[in-house]
Amino acid sequence: MVFGFLKGEFIDVISWTDDTRDTMVWRFERRDNAIKYGAKLTVREGQAAVFVNEGQIADVFGPGLYELQTNNMPIMTTLQHWDHGFSSPFKAEVYFVSTTRFNDLKWGTQNPIMCRDPEFGPVRIRAFGNYSMRVSDAALFLKEIVGTDGEFTADEVSTQIRNIIVQQMSQALAKSGIPVLDMAANTVDLAKLVGQAIAPTVGAYGLTLPEFYIENISLPDEVEKVLDKRTSMGIAGDLNKYMQFNAAEGMAQPGSAMGATMGAAMGAGMGFQMGQQGPWGAQPAAAPPPPPPVGKQWHLAVNGQTQGPFSEQQLTQQPGFGRASQVWTAGQDGWKPAGDTELTRLFGQVPPPPPPGV
């Protein structure tokens, strides 16, 4: 940061150059020197300059080059009673406010949010994402947030913004009526709801959130394990039907080895079944077979939408799936490229080039 040079007794040039990328407000240091009448004020693009007279916010200047006189300082003129112009130095604090965007700010739920799901009842969910922030009203931001802080950074206000986001996120999720299993596919709509709910509160601080994103919504690990078991049971039921269909199709082909084998097996089964029947033909109930083991279920992020769950084999059949594809499975810490997970072995299963033609 640099400030204007001193010419003689009074400050002649007022400007600010910032290279920190996280400073939102910087106070121009006067070093007990007054501002000279006709001093040059330089306000660069992405900045605003706010004059404070004896603790009271006065004039605000946007980007441009100014010569400080009564005609462009109406509030200071009124506060200082410069009825007929002035030529003597005056004292005022000057705060430069950055009005550019502060990007890639993170937010997340420190504790799970309790929601009522139409299918599962009360459930706890977590969410995280990112947002961008900018100052829309420099004077209001200085009054409500900064106060007399001579160097104010984005970190000093981001915690407050995160608290507002989480509070509005809880209310938006509770009122949305979107089932938990469908929330991952509706993050764009949820983000719009939360962004609209946040706007009035942050607007009262002189801020806006130009971008707000929900990267992921997840259930607690124990709930996801129960859902995985439920999915496994559904897959097992479908596999049983598939096996029955294959058996019936094999028996329908005369002379086939499968038909003969299945016929012998069914005959033996019928004899055993008749032997187990009581005098009234009653048959004891048989215990259902255990479900076959099921591998991990993976979710795939495509164009900001979540797809899945998929098995490893189903993943390889998805268009565009590769090492850089973002995937997630239960127990994994956030989304990761497929090449950085155990799925990396899938990309090593590539056949060698075909032999040259004869």
pLDDT of residue 210: 94
Is 74 in contact with 46 (CB distance < 8 Å)?
no
Q: Which of 340, 298, 333, 303 is nearest to 316 (CA)?
A: 298
Order the strands of the 56-61 sheet from edge to edge: 56-61, 47-53, 93-98, 23-28, 151-153
The superfamily (CATH) of domain 102-219 is Band 7 domain (3.30.479.30)
Helix (H) or strand (E) holding 148: none
- Give the chain's count of helices (H) and strands (E): 9, 17
102-219 and 221-247+296-347: identical CATH topology? no
Sketch the domain layout of the chain as residue ranges: 6-98, 102-219, 221-247+296-347
Distances (CA, A) of 66 to 42, 59, 80, 109, 188: 6, 12, 19, 46, 44
pLDDT of residue 135: 95
Output phi, psi for 257, to 5 deg. -60, -35
Residue-by-residue pLDDT tens, the chain, 358 positions: 444 444 445 567 899 998 888 899 999 876 655 788 888 999 999 999 999 888 889 999 999 999 888 778 888 878 777 765 566 678 888 999 999 999 999 998 888 888 887 777 888 888 899 999 999 999 999 999 988 888 899 998 988 899 889 888 888 877 777 888 788 788 888 898 889 889 999 999 999 999 999 998 888 777 777 777 766 656 555 556 656 655 666 666 665 554 555 455 545 554 545 555 555 445 556 666 666 556 788 888 888 888 888 888 888 888 888 888 999 898 888 889 988 888 888 887 655 556 776 4
Question: What angle do the packed helices 257-276 and 221-251 form, to 10 degrees?
Answer: 110
Question: What is the residue-wise DSSP string for 151-185?
Answer: EEETHHHHHHHHHHHHHHHHHHHHHH---HHHHGG
pTM: 0.57
pLDDT of residue 85: 59
Class for the domain spanning 221-247+296-347 = alpha beta
Q: Which residue(s) pair with 108 in the sheet?
A: 128
